[in-house]
Amino acid sequence: MSRGLDHIVHAVRDLDAAADFYRRLGFTIGARNRHPWGTHNHIVQLPGVYIELLTVAEPEKIEPHNGRFFSFGAFHRDVLLHEQGLDMILLDGRNAEADAAAFRTAGIGDFEIFNFEREGKQPDGRIVKLAFSLVYARDPKAPDVGFVTCQHHFPENFWNPAFQQHANGVTDIAGAVMIADNPSDHHIFLSAFTGERDLQSTSTGITVTTPRGDIQVMTPASYTDHFDLAAPDVARGARLGALRLTCPDLSVVEACLSAGRVEAKHHMGRLIVPPSLAHGAAMIFEAATAR
């Protein structure tokens, strides 16, 4: 079964500052949520996909990894020890048990399914129940990237058009960009993780086209050519470096950035906010027709 993007985690050290930055980019930001295992987040919703701004706010509550138990909190804590930025890709999980079995068969993960629930607040103030099941996979050549499927048990309580309207006009996540010295090293893993057999291979790297959004793996040189940015250090393994966002009109995004006093540059028809400003993640705005 092919799996599309569900959300991307942007791990940051200062959640309040990151939320303020996203507001200055022109995004609508959800309320601060608190997880019982020590992480806090804000959600930036788009139709069917979202960005999770996340920090470790209560480290004393984090449980360690233990055998088949993959600790969500410990993973992000360890990444934030040496960097901040995009660190986890979560795909649309429709059946956690089936995903876990598929990952086990493919040899990319044999972790316990992680089930949790929390309350959410609707725009009218109504409290609703939210529940999720996470299934983890691991790519040894990308130790600082988390790979997960996320099954929503009450999607009608989570997705809300009122949260998906943004002043910058962004309507979708076109994809996530990884950087690796040898992108082909991740071909087999990403095929098993996404359920997509046909991956596009070019001199730039590889691209997985999922039912919602792409996962690209580029060489450092190709990343620099495409986005006019210095590539992140990949000595520890592949890294998530950029988030591609689509909108009908780049001039609307540019006006929002100007109003928010966020510096950006034009390159190859895109508007790019560098990771030095965007809490470790490159934000790539592109016209919807550019996909």
Q: Above 60 in pLDDT, residue 22?
A: yes
Beta strands in the chain (DSSP E): 5-11, 33-34, 39-46, 49-56, 85-92, 114-121, 127-137, 146-152, 172-179, 200-201, 205-209, 214-218, 239-247, 265-267, 270-273, 282-287
Report, as an integer, the average pLDDT of 124-146: 92
Q: Are 94 and 1 in contact (CB under 8 A)?
A: yes
Q: How far apart are CA 215 and CA 5, in angstroms?
A: 9
Place of tokens 């919703």: 45
State pTM to two decimals.
Answer: 0.95
pLDDT in tens, 71-117: 999 999 999 999 999 999 999 998 999 999 999 999 999 999 999 98
Q: What percent of the chain has pLDDT over 90?
A: 90
Four-residue CA torsion sign, 222, 227, 230, 235: negative
Report, as an integer, the average pLDDT of 231-245: 96
What's the distance, Cα to Cα, between the start and end of the chain in Å? Answer: 23
Residue 275 half-sphere exposure toward CB, CA atoms < 13 A: 23
Buried b (16+ CB within 10 A) or exposed e, 7-30: bbbbbbeebeebbebbbbbbbbbb
Residue 123's pLDDT band, with cuts at 50, 70 and 90, is: low
| Cα 105 to the center of its chain, rounded Å | 25
Weakest-pLDDT range from 73-82, 142-151, 194-203, 241-250: 194-203
Number of helices (H), then strands (E), in the chain: 7, 16
Structural domains of the chain in order of their starting residue, each with its CATH number: 5-163 (3.10.180.10), 172-290 (3.10.180.10)
Residue 290's pLDDT band, with cuts at 50, 70 and 90, is: very low
**What is the reported pLDDT for 125?**
73
Q: How far apart are CA 189 and CA 98, in angstroms?
A: 17
Q: How far apart are CA 277 and CA 274, in angstroms?
A: 6
Q: How far apart are CA 213 and CA 35, in angstroms?
A: 27
**What is the reported pLDDT for 291?**
42
